[in-house]
Amino acid sequence: MAITQKDLASPKDVIAYFVSKLNNWINVASVDDLGSNQWKILTCNTKWAQKGFIIPDIGTIIDVDVNNSITVESETEISLENFELYPVKFVHGTAIQVNIENFTGENSLDPKLRLPVIYLREFTEMTRQSQWSNNLIRIEIPLTLYFLTKGNHDSWKTSDAYNEAIYPMKNLVDEFQKVLYKEKGNVGNWTEDTLNFHPKFGVRYVKKQNTDSKGVEVNYFDDNLTGVECNINLPLKIDFCKSCKDGEPPLPKFTLFVNEEEFETFEGGSGNLKVVNKNLGAVGEKENSNFVVRNLFVRRHDYQEPYSYCGVANDGTQENSTGWKITRIEILADASVIVMEATGKWTDRYILNYE
């Protein structure tokens, strides 16, 4: 997918595209049977795996040793080379809007329906480098992204918050960065981002006089969340359609006719037809903006007593290909002539059904 100028009318679509490219496959080094339906999956990258979440078609995660192993509870034996982790969601907008859409109602009942999530705050500035180069205009967007998952503000110690949530979300940031690095066609060179850790990100509230915030961010989401804040100036390479620039009409189209039959439709002027076939320009002519080539045939003749065979086909037709119009002529003893025709391969001229 190439990012277009139209996409920039809604930059959230650009970030949503990058989120959709996240690699949620985990490679398995080995699996240890711990007994009691518990399995330890050894892997060098646990990505955003977090205790309490469900791996589709495998089981519930009961422990994560970050970038070493994932322990799951499963009633069936696990024997895998790789598997897909649960997906990451993407939301954007004001805190009030995101609360309504993602952290209230049915979604508030089960964190696995809405987390982990990458949240894009609304941004209010955009740096444009308006010089044209290879139909690209570079736009730099300062972004603040939050990589969030469920937290336990009442029971977790700081070390618990880091091991069970912050580090998985840091891994999610790394996976998002990998997407940006791979999207060289859309993303320019960007400097290292800055990360801020938020062991306590919600619950949203209005701070009153003489109240204790307990380290919780003010005016965010109505939920116990933990995560990582990522600030980055993202330079995007925006493609402009060659035929849709301001002041430039779309390229004309013309149809090539060969021997009265429509061959193909091309974009551009028919004067560049020599690019299609350099031999056609000498025998063709323009008609109503189209390009018409007539009498461009290949011919064959063969005499096998008592018949004379004359074959005609469009230029370039192979002798063993269909598309030949073959005329069989027979001259009788009284000088009368019998003319019959058939279509097919030139190489089958002796066995075709002539009428």
Q: Tell me: do 15 and 152 sit in the same domain.
A: yes
What are 135's two structure tokens? 């139909």
Q: Which residue range is the domain that position 269 belongs to?
A: 253-293
Residues in CB range of 99: below 8 A, 6 or more apart: 204, 221, 222
Task: Using alpha carbons, list the distances in angstroms from residue 230 to 176, 233, 240.
Answer: 11, 10, 29
Q: Tell me: do 314 and 232 sit in the same domain.
A: no
pLDDT of residue 341: 94
User: 2-11, 170-179, 185-194, 336-345: lowest mean pLDDT where?
Assistant: 2-11
Q: For the whole prediction, is pTM greater than 0.85?
A: no
Q: Tell me: do 198 and 102 sit in the same domain.
A: yes
Residues in CB range of 164: below 8 A, 6 or more apart: 50, 51, 64, 152, 156
Residues 5, 136: Cα–Cα separation, whole Å = 10
Q: Tell me: do 121 and 183 sit in the same domain.
A: yes
Q: Tell me: do 176 and 235 sit in the same domain.
A: yes
**Which pLDDT band holds residue 9 (cuts at 50, 70, 90)?**
very low
Neighbour-count burial of 293, counting CB atoms closer than 10 A to its CB (0-12 exposed, 13-18 middle, 19+ buried): buried
Position 248 in a domain:
no
User: Does 334 or 220 have the greater pLDDT score?
Assistant: 334
Q: Which of 77-86, 190-199, 230-239, 333-342 has the highest mean pLDDT?
A: 333-342
- Three-state DSSP at 5 gives helix
- Three-state DSSP at 182 gives helix
Q: Tell me: do 70 and 124 sit in the same domain.
A: no
Q: Tell me: do 11 and 156 sit in the same domain.
A: yes
